Amino acid sequence: MPQFERDGVEFNVTLDGPENAPPLMLSNSLGTNLHMWDPQIPELTKHFRVIRYDSRGHGKSGAPDGPYSIEELGRDALAIMDALRLERVNWLGLSMGGMSGQWLLAHAPERIERAVLANTSSYIPDPRPYNARVLAVRKNGMASVAQTVVDRWFTPAFQAARPERVAAIGQRLVQNDRANFLAAYRLFAEGDQILAHAAPDIACPTLAMTGEHDVGSTPRMTRGLARALPDSRARVIDGQRHMLPVEDPTVVAAALHAFLLPARQPATAESSA
């Protein structure tokens, strides 16, 4: 695994797939690491050179003192692209990773070929629940919010059907360092408009997708994000919640291939599966 550095922070990066395939960069959600994408890798590497990395404060990447900012996360991604000599990449980010992708679309659009913004939003309409979880973690540690977060990430049906997958994600969540988690979680508590006034000028083809039952990045919010971008479509996956790549990797991989592969024709209509 290569290690790259930006401003003294080292980043853990994994490369999979053919070296001459189109590059696809994956950015993890809050509280996870690059392994959240493991179920997707067998399918994605059939068509892409997949670049995964642990975001700052996560996994094996460096964890400087926080709080962190969306701009910092976006510039981290640019530094990794530069280190790999990648002029442009396709982007897939989930939740926090989708927020990083939005910053890139607004501030470095020339570096993004196509973008998939999964289970994310350009704003937080009510930061109070996030602030409450910040206080709970600060006072009682990660375990105090683990089940609440897992319930927001996975449907009850998936928790019952695949308890081993849910347990692995939950264990990873609890293992997060409290200070590092809070440094990143403040991003959600801020409630800032990431795209601000840049959205109408973003020409990059974009797919905004979420699960039917996602309570943090609802279908309504996802459709609104898609409407704000000129060349964008929305995709709502039936029966799923927040962790789409874990809950339904086959359907998600098919959606990604349909949107990202060069043979795809421009589309604007919303669809669901």
> Distance between CA 62 and CA 12 in Å, rounded?
8
Strands (E), 54-182: 89-94, 112-118
CA distances from 206 to 4, 109, 236 (A): 28, 11, 14
| 140-177 residue pLDDT tens | 888 888 888 899 999 999 999 999 989 988 888 888 88
| 35-59 residue pLDDT tens | 999 989 999 999 999 999 999 989 8
- The ranges assigned to domains in the chain are 3-125+193-272
| 233-271 residue pLDDT tens | 999 999 999 999 899 888 888 999 999 986 444 444 444
Token pair listed for 167: 């347990």
More confident residue, 127 or 92: 92
CATH topology for 3-125+193-272 is Rossmann fold (3.40.50)
Query: Which residues are paired to 271 by β-bridges?
Result: 235
> Distance between CA 103 and CA 122 in Å, rounded?
9
Count how many Cα atoms sit within 13 Å of the Cα of residue 152 in the half-sphere of its side chain: 16
Query: Which residues are paired to 49 by β-bridges?
Result: 23
Q: Are 31 and 172 in contact (CB under 8 A)?
A: yes
The length of the chain in residues reads: 273
**Confidence (pLDDT) at 196:** 61
